[in-house]
Each structure stands twice: as structure tokens, then as C-alpha cells.
Amino acid sequence: MTMRRPWIVIACAAFIVTLAMGVRQAFGLFLPQMSVSLGIGREGFGLAMALSNLVFGLAQPFIGALADRHGAGRVVFFGTLIYVAGLIGASWIGSAIGLHFTFGFLTGVGLAATTFVVVLGAVGRVVPPERRGLAFGIVTAGGSLGQFLVVPAAQMLLSDLGYRLALIALSGLVAVCAVLAIGVAGKPDSAAEEGPRQSLKDALSEAAGHPSYWLLNAGFFVCGFHIAFIATHFPAYLDDKGLGLGIGASALALVGLFNIFGSYLFGLSGDVWRKNYVLSGLYAARGVVIAVFLLLPLTPFTALAFAGAMGFLWLGTVPLTSGLVGQMFGVRYLSTLYGIVFLSHQVGSFFGAWAAGYFFDRSGTYDWAWGASILLAVFAAIVHLPIRDTAVARPQPA
């Protein structure tokens, strides 16, 4: 590929995920106005959201493969068009089916084409292996910053403009990604990789036969479970315990704030220490933080301290996990292989959000979900230890 200045690629990648992830985090804000205006109820809106998350995860390996084949620039450009079409479409549709297609399907595809998996592939190709942790950390922190800043801005837009105009305004924000796509453009060239050329099929077979790849998938499933459970249910948990709405909202803000710093610093840590050990420590720390939180008496202080600590441990897994995939298998098919790992994350997210609610409805308590979160943290801390993080040996052509 044409070599670009790494910092241009990193900056454009970080801005792309800032905008794409930031707008995505604001989707839920539209629930009250849209469900009433369209007369579809919260279930109808929730289905559109669930579809978006499902499509985001399922499409990711395929869109990652497209990025590996045609370059991240083209994928981000066309993905932006689809994302914008989804948002504008959602602003004028008048039925549940229309909402499911626009807000559900189109935004899901658009997100898969404009977020971490696609842009990290482009960044990985222009940054030397020993600096990838830093570079991936910066891009991930960009996504975290977007989540933190765009949500309150979107709420202001909603309050002032109503949902139709707010959606169009947000689509304008997302449209900027089409310009930023130039910064991550360039067709991947297998000749730029060290070692022999490899087909996509060979790369998939190689990864599928590598036990450490499956351990990474298992670990990232746990990440998705934790994040979805806490983001979805934690404010309700605090409210159930009598701490009130304000503490729950502030807790989410602190998660968003500390996530920015954690994403970056854990990425940077991956350049200093072995990434699988840092991941193991991160998951162990999640388990300890949850256990300590549950053992201490619940007060506003412990709730906010828990939120800050979990926020710090939130998306630090992204630069480390994607970095490990690149370290083990090279960056030629990074987006495809990391896309599959990301799908595992989304499956974990599904269970974290849904199963916690399912068992709460039957038992009236989140004890099961908290217990599962601690056990899964221990499991993830253990499975990352034996990961072989060295580059896979490939036979040289005669």
C-alpha cells in the first residue's frame, strides 16, 4: 500500500471512531420520542436497537474482509453513506418496519464499516509492531471520547430540535467520516507483509487451528458480557437500592470519562508488557473491583468509585486484543480476524444485557449476574495466560 504518515492515519482513524461510536451511543436517547411518535412502543424501538447490534456484530467479519481486500478508505466511505442513509431514513420513516430497516439494519452495517475493526487494520499497517499498542490505544481512546462527548450533545439537540432534525444533525456529524476516509485509504498489499503471501482462506484456516485465537475469542466474549451488563443494568441496580436516578446517571458519565484514559493507557501498556498478561491483569482487576464493590456497603461514593474503576477497565481490552491478533497473525488480514473476535464480543454483549434482565425478572435480584461477572472475570484472566503471543511460523516457499 502507499505508505502514509502514520500520524495522519492514526488521527483520521481516531476521528472516524469518535464520530461513529459517539453517534451510536446516542441511539437510545431517541427511544421516548420515536416510540411515541411512531406508535410502536418501546419493544418496537428496542427491536431496532437489538437489530443494529446484531447486524453490527454479524457483518463485522465480512466487512473486515472487504477492508482487508479493498482498503479501509473505501469501506469507511461507503459505510458512512450507509450509516448516513440509516439516520436520515430513520428521521422520516413512519412505521416499525421502516425503523427496523433504517435504524436497525443500515446503521448496523454502517457501524461495522466505520469503527474499530476496519480502521485498526489500516493503522496496524502503517505503524511498526513495537508502537501498535500506543497507536491502537489512541484510536480506541478516540472512540471513548466520542461516546463521552456526543451523548450529552445529542441530548441537547433532541431537546431543542426534536428527533427528526436531531437525527439529520447527527447524520451530518457522521458524514464527516466520508472525508476522513481519505486518511485511512490505501489498498492493502500482501507484498508489504513480511513472509510468504497468504490467501484469506489460508489465514482463516491458520487462525482456526491456533488454540490461542480461540482463547482470545473467549476472553473478548467476557468483555462484551461485562460491559453490556453494567451499562444496561447498573443504573437500575443503583435505583433499586435507593440511590436514585442522579447517581446512576453520574455513574455512567464516570464510566465514559475514565474509559478515555483507560483505553489509551492499556494500549500503551501493550507496548511495554506482554499484551496477554496485561489483558489477564485487566480482567482480574475487573473481578476484584466487582467483588470489593459488592462486599462494601453501598453508598453514593462506592457507586461512583466503582463506575470510575470499571470505566478505566472498560475498553482497554480493544487495543490489547486487536494488537495480539496483529502480533500473532500479522496485519494483512487483521480486520477479518479481529472482526471474528469482535463478533464474539457482541455475543457476550447480548448475554450480558439479556441474561441479567432475564434472571432479574425471575429472582428479583442481580446477584446471579454479579456472580457470573466475577466468575467470568476469573475465567478470562486465566485463559489469557497461556496465549502464545509470538508470530505464527509459516513455511517459506521453496
Partner 1 sequence: MKKALPWLAPLALVPVALIGLEAWRAQATWIWLSGFVAACF
Burial 223-252 (b: 16+ CB within 10 A, else e): bbbbbbbbbbbbbebbeeeebeeebbebbb
Helix (H) or strand (E) holding 31: helix 31-38
What residues between 172 and 191 interact with partner 1 by CB under 8 A?
Answer: none
Minimum distance from residue 392 beta carbon to partner 1 (Å): 29
Binding of partner 1 by 236 (CB under 8 A): yes
Minimum distance from residue 79 beta carbon to partner 1 (Å): 20
Binding of partner 1 by 152 (CB under 8 A): yes
What residues between 246 and 265 interact with partner 1 by CB under 8 A?
Answer: 246, 248-250, 252-253, 256-257, 260-261, 264-265
- For partner 1, the binding residue among 1, 6, 28, 359 (CB under 8 A) is 28
Pairs from 211-214 (Cβ < 8 Å, separation ≥ 24):
212/328, 212/386, 212/387, 212/388, 212/389, 213/325, 213/328, 213/329, 213/337, 213/341
Distances (CA, A) of 27 to 45, 108, 226, 228, 264: 10, 12, 20, 15, 25
Binding of partner 1 by 37 (CB under 8 A): no
Q: Which is nearer to partner 1, 148 or 329 (CB)?
A: 148
Residue type, 249: A
Binding of partner 1 by 240 (CB under 8 A): no
Helix (H) or strand (E) holding 341: helix 334-363
Binding of partner 1 by 32 (CB under 8 A): yes
Binding of partner 1 by 27 (CB under 8 A): yes
- For partner 1, the binding residue among 46, 98, 195, 281 (CB under 8 A) is 46
Length of the chain: 398
What residues between 131 and 150 interact with partner 1 by CB under 8 A?
Answer: 134, 141, 145, 147-149
Task: Find out whether 1 and 130 touch, Cβ atoms under 8 Å.
Answer: no
Minimum distance from residue 49 beta carbon to partner 1 (Å): 6
Contacts with partner 1 by CB under 8 A lie at 24-29, 31-32, 42, 46, 49, 53, 134, 141, 145, 147-149, 151-153, 155-156, 158-159, 224, 227-228, 231-236, 245-246, 248-250, 252-253, 256-257, 260-261, 264-265, 268, 349, 352-353
